[in-house]
Structure 1
Amino acid sequence: MRALVLTGPGKAEVQEVEPPVAAPGEVVVDVERAGVCGTDAELFTGGMSYLRTGRSWYPVRPGHEWCGRVTTLGDGVPAQWLGRRVTADTMLGCGHCDRCRAGRHHVCGDSAEIGISRGRAGALAERIAVPVTALHALPGSVDSTMGALVEPGGNALRAVRATRLGSGGRLLVLGTGTIGLLVALFAQAEGVEVHLLGRDLEDLRLARTFGFAGLWDRPALPGLRWDAVVDASNAPHLPSLALDLVEPAGRVVYIGLAGTPSTLDSRDLVLKDVTAVGILGGSAGLAGAISAYADGSVDARPLVAATMGLAETVQILGGHRPPDAGPGPKFHIDPRR
């Protein structure tokens, strides 16, 4: 089968590889759609921290935002999975440690991440093998575009839940990439008053179409009460800005990762009595994201700028944006093309 293979920093190609085999407890899925994520780009450039720690290595086959249809069952897998449209949790814990048994498999010390770490092949390929325990079934109302947005949606929903805001609360989201916009959409669906901070007005072009309460660049940001702030950016100076802006006794949620270390003054955290939360992975939010997509309360399809063929993935990873692409930050790949 065809699969995208990253062979070294800045080096990638579509190769013919051996198709996956369903081991006991696993299924093989024909991939319908896969998203290209910032993590995939970091693996491509060589900037991913896992490459330095030995958690990831070349060659690597990326792709952890995806959906498809189950075509093969391994031993011990219930027959009802055959033919079902699914996506899956990216984070695969060992299943035996205290963290896994407590439902925190996403921070298992021996976890593998699909398309990212421990050599677990990803979904930028025609087929993928996945443990049945990681699968999430997709209802018919969730199309391929939305199905491949479940994983980032799960991350965003976890960030929204971590704000502890309900209807009438005011949220400021820093960053207008895929995660920032998804955070804003999930929060808006729960009745939160949502504001976004972008780099400039052009950066907010797509956000204008969603009817959020406020869209701002830094000079225009008003001095409102921010009950919670979500940093969904990759800018190293914004974690401290989030802490500066949040209301005393409010909550700051960090889901973005900068390429260089960020600094903030823990004295400000203490003296403002602020709760800070870090979000890693969408595991606990996947089911909720599927439900929100299925009932129509969140429509994330405008975030996808274009859907392209597998061979075009290398251009996307290299930063090329097709001239006919839409305004969204996300690119999807149809590996069947």
Structure 2
Amino acid sequence: MSSTMRAFVLTGPRRGAVQEVPVPRPESGEVVVDVERAGVCGTDVEFFTGEMAYLHQGHSAYPMRLGHEWAGTVSAVGAGVDSGWLGRRVMGDTMLGDQTCRRCARGHQHTCENRQEVGIRGDRPGALAERLAVPAWSLHALPDEVDAVLGALVEPGGNALRAARAAGACDRALVFGPGTIGLLTAMFLRAAGTEVHLMGVDDGSFARGLGFEHVWTRETLPDLPFDAVVDATGAADLPALAVDLVEPAGRVVYIGLSGRPSPLDTRALVLKDVTAVGVLSASPGLAETIAAYGSGAVDPRPLVAATVGLDDVGAVLAGEWRAGPGPKIHVDPRR
């Protein structure tokens, strides 16, 4: 076996290329995964442009290897790891808490102050590579019904599932931002029997093609009572609009992040008796997302516009890749 592998390495803002890097060896408690699919997400684009906050807060630094939405097969295990993992198809948690702090002990390892994030934070290389090393405890086995395409959509799906659950039991919900997370959230809400409305900036033809009848722009949004509003955008003004539009005693869910602070008058929350929920991570929702994909309750495959090789990652991050109408690009590092 070769001692090197191909990986996309980001060396600075708008600078990156495929390089030959050492093949990872599993340390104690780790496994090595042969990556079959990895998704490119908005966070990766922010690292590419240099706008990602972690770069300026000291949590991340160039050079770095991106990729936190992935699926593959375990090919090696380190000391202390059950050999039964070998050959198993898996995906893994992005958030890797230190497993020792109070937050980790309380089951909130995704909020650990000392956490690593695969392909994002703490110098933990990501999955835009032929192989990836991760702790065995972070793995989730994939059933036969969940192939590599679906497996690489579990991480964004876990975020969306948590957003949908945070919306609570509701008759009608409004989702801002019909991108990957917004559409996945809409899918989970629909699967729960909710009447889903989406608000975006275009004619919504892609969302309509997925079976969502109620797709609007801000100008065409009807005056309806919304029991929950989910903001899956990066627009700084929409968190306040969510509170304006939600019904009294309703719920607003914030999963999108703006590049600047979002003004929000908490008096509106109080006087409308609104519950506001922030969703940081997919971690608590991964197992349930895998089950939903496996049962067919939610099918996110149409979101994948194209699957490319590592050599095309730079163009994808730069927005130069021409693909289909879906919002998600997948990478097959074996190409």
Q: In which range does the TM-score fall when normalised by the shorter chain?
A: over 0.9
Task: Please report how far the alpha carbon of residue 210 of structure 1 lies from its aligned counterpart in structure 2 after TM superposition.
Answer: 2.2
Which shifted more, 206-215 or 83-92?
Answer: 206-215
Q: 1:51-76, CA deviations, whole angstroms, 9 ceiling, x for partnerless residues?
A: 00000001110000000000001011
Aligned residues: 331
Q: 1:124-156, CA deviations, whole angstroms, 9 ceiling, x for partnerless residues?
A: 000000100000000111111111000000000
> Percent identity, aligned pairs only?
62
Select which of 12, 31, 49 maps to 1:8. Answer: 12
Residue 286 of structure 1 aligns with which residue? 286
Select which of 184, 187, 191 maps to 2:186. Answer: 184
Matched, 1:28 2:32: yes
Task: Please report how far the alpha carbon of residue 15 of structure 1 lies from its aligned counterpart in structure 2 after TM superposition.
Answer: 0.5
What's the TM-score once normalised by structure 1's chain length? 0.97
In structure 2, what is the Cα distance between the partners aligned to 1:56 and 1:165? 38
Task: Please report how far the alpha carbon of residue 213 of structure 1 lies from its aligned counterpart in structure 2 after TM superposition.
Answer: 4.4
Residue 277 of structure 1 aligns with which residue? 277
Matched, 1:147 2:147: no
Superposed CA RMSD: 0.8
In structure 2, what is the Cα distance between the partners aligned to 1:303 and 1:211? 13
Counting only pairs closer than 5 Å after superposition, residues 120-131 of structure 1 correspond to structure 2 as 120-131=124-135
Residue 85 of structure 1 aligns with which residue? 89
Q: Partner letter of residue 225 of structure 2?
A: R
Q: Partner letter of residue 254 of structure 1?
A: Y
Matched, 1:264 2:268: no
Select which of 170, 173, 192 maps to 2:172. Answer: 170
Task: Please report how far the alpha carbon of residue 319 of structure 1 lies from its aligned counterpart in structure 2 after TM superposition.
Answer: 0.8
In structure 1, runs of 5+ residues without a counterpart are none
Q: Partner letter of residue 32 of structure 1?
A: E
CA contact (8 A) 1:178 1:330 kept: yes
Counting only pairs closer than 5 Å after superposition, residues 305-320 of structure 1 correspond to structure 2 as 305-320=305-320
Q: 1:245-284, CA deviations, whole angstroms, 9 ceiling, x for partnerless residues?
A: 0001100000001122211111111111111000001000
In structure 2, what is the Cα distance between the partners aligned to 1:155 and 1:89? 11
Residue 69 of structure 1 aligns with which residue? 73
Task: Please report how far the alpha carbon of residue 244 of structure 1 lies from its aligned counterpart in structure 2 after TM superposition.
Answer: 0.6
In structure 2, what is the Cα distance between the partners aligned to 1:109 and 1:220? 43
Residue 326 of structure 1 aligns with which residue? 324
What's the TM-score once normalised by structure 2's chain length? 0.98
Q: Partner letter of residue 334 of structure 1?
A: D
Q: Structure 1: which 4+ aligned runs deviate by more than 6 Å? A: none
* DSSP-derived class of the 2:249 partner: strand
In structure 2, runs of 5+ residues without a counterpart are none
In structure 2, what is the Cα distance between the partners aligned to 1:121 and 1:23? 14
CA contact (8 A) 1:240 1:264 kept: yes
